[in-house]
Amino acid sequence: MINRREKNSRAGGILLHMSSLPSEFGIGDLGPCAYRFVDFLHNTRQRYWQILPLNPTELFFGNCPYSSSSAFAANTLLISPDLLAKEGWLTKKDIQVDQAFPQERVDYAQVFEYKHLLFELAYKKFEKIQHKPASYFEFCEENEYWLDDFASFVVLKEASPRHVWNKWPREIRDREPEALRAFQQRHEKEIEKAKFLQYVFFQQWAQLRDYARQNGVQILGDIPIYVSFDSADVWAHHGIFKLDHHRDPVYVAGVPPDYFSETGQRWGNPVYNWEHLKHTGYAWWMERVKHNLKLFDRVRIDHFRGLVACWEIPASEPTAVKGHWAQGQSRDFLTTLTSQFPDLPIIAEDLGIITPDVVETMTHFGFPGMKVLVFAFNGDMNTHPYLPHNYGNNCVVYTGTHDNNTVRGWFEKEATPAEKDNFVRYIGRPVSLESAPWELIQVALESTADLAIIPLQDVLGLGSDARMNVPGTITGNWQWRYRPELLTPKIIDKLSKLTTKSRRVG
């Protein structure tokens, strides 16, 4: 077993995606409110800020950060207009808001339209500069592995937005060098604009991360294990996925039927061709992990079990019923990965159907898994794996995740009488709707887990209206935002004292 625990590894953190930050521009961004949130984390003695994937989102996919056109590129909607003005790409007049954005939700269509206009203005200024910043060319060179393909993909999609990439003209679909070069020459400016916006994002991100480090805050990022079929990654690296000669998926990913769904879940993502990946030395994955480790201090791998064995569903099947478990190359892949990145700071999302081979793999490599407290009161209280007395140090405890209801929402609308009774008996005192979130926060912070992560919604004691995502639904998700006045001195003092008392300060 590889020991990946660090000295003074006992810590606390907050789960909040960038889009949920306040701002006057309709969506959270990398600007002043992000810096103020780092201040909040510092003042409450938190050492981690966990976010969701930063990759591009699309209206068509319900703005889900786990369904993206790129595993490498960033979501330009998170670019800060304030910083664009500060950096000289826009003027203060350019970013004046003359429309009313919702304060507690993200209206993605409205935000997209507004920021699209700003990006046009910013790029026009960039385009006119005779001597462009050296940092721009350095960025393009450092990110050449993915940036050229992504920028071309973006422009191709804008030219034919209703067509999946494998329905493009054959020579472009198959990336014939002459055809691709001719297209890039014809659309040089549009491609440059896509690169410029990525450059701006990553410049702003680097500044925010530096500020977090200066304040003792580490960023915990998120890597979705799968990529969307209609993405730059599958177009540019189709050989590492199980596709047929028409570049259509042969199999897609999902999970088998279970207690929650008699037909399972058919996610539709293409599955990896691990034999081909092994032949390449897992080059694409190595680049992906290297890229993420530049952005984050630690990373969570979503659906970690898919590295060990994937539920493969024939692409022609409408449900997940006729899928099968297909073994990956987890031992060889993770051995290769950890040899290249010896101190690999991975957290394995091990929720759902976890078989002994997944546990064995996590144990061998020393990767911590996840414990979710809102799941902890529905079984045998002596043996339940999510109750703190049944786990050790090398794990991450959450009150809930972005896929769950808030603690208040769970207690009010989902917890059965038996679960509520177990909850009360476990903590040894009465629990009310108002007190439930902080009772579970205290359980999490006082547990033996090295890391305790609390969704901001639970710190604020919010109900179901503040839920981030309802799995299996396609509307109304990923929209919640908090109002800045909710981070009161009372909240700061309470969280700081409880974090200190539970010995989770650096």
Which residues participate in catalysis according to the annotation? 302, 349, 403
CB 332 within 8 A of CB 385: no
Give the single-character DSSP code of 382: T
Report strand pairing: 324-327 vs 346-348: unpaired
Tell the residue number behind the tokens 């993915």, with chain if given: 146
Q: In Å, how far are 11, 28, 388, 496 from 502, measured between CA atoms?
A: 9, 31, 14, 10
Close Cβ partners of 476 (under 8 Å, ≥ 6 residues apart)? 470
CB 145 within 8 A of CB 285: no
DSSP of 239-304, one letter per residue?
GGB-B-TTS-BSEEEEE---SS-TT-EEEEEEPB-HHHHHHTTSHHHHHHHHHHHHH-SEEEEETT
Close Cβ partners of 241 (under 8 Å, ≥ 6 residues apart)? 234, 249, 270, 271, 272, 273
Q: In Å, how far are 28, 37, 77, 339, 445 from 84, measured between CA atoms?
A: 15, 20, 12, 40, 39
**Nearest in space to 377 (alpha carbons), one of 429, 409, 417, 331:** 417
Please name the helix (run of DSSP H) or strand (run of DSSP E) that holds residue 344, with its range, or none.
none
Q: How far apart are the first and last CA of the chain?
A: 26
Close Cβ partners of 263 (under 8 Å, ≥ 6 residues apart)? 257, 319, 320, 321
DSSP of 403-463, one letter per residue?
TS--HHHIIIII--HHHHHHHHHHHTS---TTTHHHHHHHHHHHSS-SEEEEEHHHHTT--
Beta partners for 13?
48, 453
Task: Give buried/exposed letters for 406-417 (b at 16+ CB in 10 A, else e).
Answer: bbbbbbeeebee
Helices 144-159 and 134-142: crossing angle, nearest 10°? 90
**Nearest in space to 348 (alpha carbons), one of 329, 363, 328:** 363
